[in-house]
Structures are given as structure tokens and as C-alpha cells.
């Protein structure tokens, strides 16, 4: 693990990217916060105002009051469909345009990688997303903006217009299995990567946090860009303690310089 000045570390990351053939980028809440999306677990975050025990899948399905609280939280802007990508998202999208990105595996539910221009088939959202609400009875999907409009009109617990079934955000709740197909593909991409870059994740939420373990166990180089420590720090080839957007902007600039030289 390297602990040198930031310019040297960024230069090293650029070299790793240029030499990689199967690069996977893994993103967490530290990327989303730079787009103004609150971090659930940090001091002052969502769970300081709402009890996470109220947001299990079991309670959501079986308790109308839990559903009311969930929709209240969303109505108050805990998550938003209006957030825009930040420099970290655009830098990752640039890596794709340069032909260096195998895929993005993300813990985030904001779909900002899509907005930044990364193709849908290269994004694996382990925890679902907040762009849709899904009926648990008939499977009908609703754009989240449509549900937001109903909430603003005073509807406290929106249900399915087709069958009156329970509507649930397409994000994964506590106690709800991760989408099996997405998890399987993300696991395989991690195993077969030769460079795995973690950006903005503390790597403490499982099974998502297994992804860099799968990668390094198969011989991939590991880069971690995060403001706080992670359980994988000692495994990192390069460890950078800095913000995602500023760091990735500098990394992509250095990659371009090296490619064009």
C-alpha cells in the first residue's frame, strides 16, 4: 500500500488504469453525497431523523404505518430524482468513453451513473434504484416522479392504480434480498477484474462489500479512494484519502495526458 503525496498516487492510479484490461469501478455513498444526496449513516444523516428499524422489508409489507413513514421520508427529500451527476460520475463515464471501463458496481440508488452517460448494461445497482416504484402484487412499475406528484397532492400511502396492491420503491430495503441476477453478474465481474477501484465506500455493508474481496482474491489490483478508513485498506495497491470528485477529475486528466503523450 502506497502512502505518498497525492500527485504521485494519482499518477500511479492513472498507470494502473492504462494497463488494465478489465477494470471495475465500485461506488458508494461518498460519491452520491457530492451531488447533495444525504448519507444515511453519517452523523446528521437520514438515520438521525428516522429509525432504520422502521424500514425493514417485513415491516413495509405488513404495516401500513411503516409504509406511511417510508413515503414521508421520501417526500421530505431524503432521496430525490432531481440530483445531478458530479465530477466523479463524469470521470467514470469518461473512462468508459476511453474504452477502459468493464462496468460500474454501485451501492447507490440514485441512478446518477446512468445520468452521467454510462450505458445501462455496464451498471450493476446492487441495492436497486429510486427511479421506479413497483407494485408487489401485479409487478406494474411507475416512474418515481409520478409517485412524488401523488405525495405532493396529499396521498400518504400511494398504492397501485391497476390493482390497489402495495407500492414499494425499487430500492432494496433492510431484510430484502439483493436482486439475484445483478448480484450474480457483479460477483462474476469482480472475480474476473484485473483492476478494482473503490470510490466513496467504507466497505462495511454486505454482501456488497464482498466485491473487492472477490477481486483481490483473484489477483486484481485494488485502488481505494475514500475519506475514511475501510477494512480493505491494507490490501490496496493505492490508497487515497480524498474526495471522490476532485480526485477522479485529476485521475482522468492524468490518464488523458499519458494516453496522448
Cβ count within 10 A of residue 19? 12
Q: What is the CA radius of gyration of the chain?
A: 19
Task: Report the relative pairing of strands 238-240 and 195-199 from DSSP bridges.
Answer: unpaired
Read off φ and ψ for residue 201, nearest 5 degrees: -130, 140
Specify whether the CB–CB gap between 197 and 23 falls below 8 A.
yes
Considering 89, 113, 114, 127, which one is annotated as catalytic? 127
User: Is 127 a residue of the active site?
Assistant: yes
The string of DSSP codes covering 118-183 is --GGGEEETT--SSEEEETTT--EEEHHHHHHHHHTT-SS-B-TTT-PBEEESSPPBTSPPPHHHH
Specify whether the CB–CB gap between 244 and 200 falls below 8 A.
yes
Specify whether the CB–CB gap between 54 and 66 falls below 8 A.
yes
Specify whether the CB–CB gap between 109 and 133 falls below 8 A.
no
Active-site residue list: 127
Amino acid at each position: 500500500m502506497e502512502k505518498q503525496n497525492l500527485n504521485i498516487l494519482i499518477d500511479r492510479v492513472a498507470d494502473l488504469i492504462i494497463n488494465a484490461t478489465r477494470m471495475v469501478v465500485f461506488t458508494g455513498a461518498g460519491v452520491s453525497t457530492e451531488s447533495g444526496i444525504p448519507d444515511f449513516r453519517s452523523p446528521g444523516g437520514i438515520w438521525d431523523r428516522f429509525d432504520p428499524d422502521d424500514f425493514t422489508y417485513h415491516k413495509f409489507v405488513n404495516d401500513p404505518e411503516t409504509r406511511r413513514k417510508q413515503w414521508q421520508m421520501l417526500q421530505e427529500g431524503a432521496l430525490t430524482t432531481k440530483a445531478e451527476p458530479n465530477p466523479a460520475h463524469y470521470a467514470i463515464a469518461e473512462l468508459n468513453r476511453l474504452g477502459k471501463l468493464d462496468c460500474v458496481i454501485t451501492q447507490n440508488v440514485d441512478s446518477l451513473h446512468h445520468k452521467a452517460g454510462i450505458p445501462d448494461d455496464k451498471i450493476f445497482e446492487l441495492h436497486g434504484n429510486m427511479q421506479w416504484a413497483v407494485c408487489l402484487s401485479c409487478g406494474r412499475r411507475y416512474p418515481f416522479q409520478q409517485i412524488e406528484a401523488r405525495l405532493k397532492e396529499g396521498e400518504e400511502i400511494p398504492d397501485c392504480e391497476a390493482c390497489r396492491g402495495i407500492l414499494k420503491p425499487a430500492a432494496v430495503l433492510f431484510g430484502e434480498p439483493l436482486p439475484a441476477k445483478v448480484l450474480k453478474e457483479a460477483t462474476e465481474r469482480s472475480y474476473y477484474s484485473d483492476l478494482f477501484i473503490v470510490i466513496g465506500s467504507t466497505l462495511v455493508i454486505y454482501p456488497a462489500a464482498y466485491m473487492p474481496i472477490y477481486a483481490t482474491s483473484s489477483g486484481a489490483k485494488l485502488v481505494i479512494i475514500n475519506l475514511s478508513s475501510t477494512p480493505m485498506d491494507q490490501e490496496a495497491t493505492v490508497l487515497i484519502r480524498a474526495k471522490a470528485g476532485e480526485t477522479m477529475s485529476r485521475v482522468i486528466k492524468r490518464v488523458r495526458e499519458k494516453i496522448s503523450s
